[in-house]
């Protein structure tokens, strides 16, 4: 299998960290692909009509995208404890945390468009403020709601890769006044899965 990847994408990193945690990373060929909404990559478009990574290219089978679906597929390829709980409240809490993390990544990317990526004369300050507010509210919610004792699941992977990316991009910080969340991320970033997948590079528009 080939994983179309981007070294500065929180979504792609989520899929690869999940693969490490599931014990199947050695089965992947990781191929870096530069994409952005303004930079077409024909090789990615050939596998994903949205032109985005991550994409999992499977020999003789249809490609799979996006990170949520790729992680769900990876969870069927190992014999260990499932990282996406199959039933009960544990399932919904894991998927809820994954949804929160994905939304934070979305807001972080949108905030970057309104602060550093879009030409200055086209930026819309109220939209930037709105996305920053979503991030801060999410940080506060996580400080209270994150179960730091729970067994590792897909929501944790999504959250760790999102928070790490937000720091990488110097977006609004979650550190001040949120010691539980900060300590949890520091511990997660020491895991081999995170150390094997460092963020690097700049978006090319």
Instruction: Enumerate the domain spans of the chain.
Output: 2-74, 88-195
Q: What is the 3-state secondary structure (H, E, C) of the chain?
A: CEEEECCCCHHHHHHHHHHHHHCCHHHCEEEECCCECCECCHHHHCCCCCCCCCEEECCCCCCECCHHHHHHHHCCCCCCCCCCCCCHHHHHHHHHHHHHHHHHHHHHHHHHHHHHHCCHHHCCHHHHHHHHHHHHHHHHHHHHHCCCCCCCCHHHHHHHHHHHHHHHCCCCCCCCCCHHHHHHHHHHHCCHHHHCCCCCCCCCC
Element (H, E) at 73: helix 67-74
Question: Which residues are within 8 A (CB) of 158 and not within 5 positions of it... i.e. 6 or more apart?
Answer: 14, 67, 97, 98, 101, 102
Query: Which pLDDT does position 64 carry in this prediction?
Result: 98
Q: Look up the CATH number of domain 2-74.
A: 3.40.30.10
Nearest one of 34, 165, 172, 167 to 102, comparing CA atoms: 165
Q: Which residue has the tokens 């039933």?
A: 87
Query: Which pLDDT does position 162 carry in this prediction?
Result: 98
Query: Which pLDDT does position 204 carry in this prediction?
Result: 83
Judge contact between 19 and 28, C-beta under 8 A.
yes
Query: Which pLDDT does position 205 carry in this prediction?
Result: 81
Query: Which pLDDT does position 54 carry in this prediction?
Result: 98
Distance CA 53, CA 41 (A): 10
Distance CA 168, CA 37 (A): 20
Query: Which pLDDT does position 75 carry in this prediction?
Result: 98
**Segments of the chain scoring below 70 in pLDDT:** none
- Tell me the CATH number of domain 88-195, given options 1.10.287.3510, 1.10.1040.10, 1.20.1050.10, 1.10.760.10: 1.20.1050.10
Tens digit of each residue's pLDDT (9 = 90 or more) over 46-84: 999 999 999 999 999 999 999 999 999 999 999 999 999
């Amino acid at each position: 299998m080939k994983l179309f990847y981007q070294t500065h994408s929180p979504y792609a990193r989520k899929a690869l960290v999940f693969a490490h945690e599931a014990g199947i990373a050695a089965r992947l060929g990781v191929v870096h692909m530069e994409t952005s909404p303004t930079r077409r990559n024909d090789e990615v478009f050939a596998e994903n009509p949205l032109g985005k990574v991550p994409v999992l290219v499977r020999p003789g089978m249809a490609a799979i995208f996006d990170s949520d679906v790729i992680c769900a597929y990876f969870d069927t390829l190992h014999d260990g404890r499932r990282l996406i709980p199959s039933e009960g409240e544990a399932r919904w809490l894991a998927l809820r945390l994954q949804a929160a993390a994905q939304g934070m990544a979305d807001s972080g990317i949108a905030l970057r468009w309104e602060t550093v990526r879009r030409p200055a004369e086209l930026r819309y300050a109220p939209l930037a403020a709105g996305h920053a507010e979503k991030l801060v509210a999410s940080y506060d919610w996580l400080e209270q709601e994150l179960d730091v004792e729970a067994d590792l699941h897909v929501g944790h992977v999504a959250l760790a890769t999102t928070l790490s990316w937000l720091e990488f991009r110097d977006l609004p910080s979650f550190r001040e006044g949120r010691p539980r969340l900060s300590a949890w991320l520091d511990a997660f970033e020491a895991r081999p899965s995170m150390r094997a997948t460092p963020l690097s590079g700049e978006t090319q528009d």
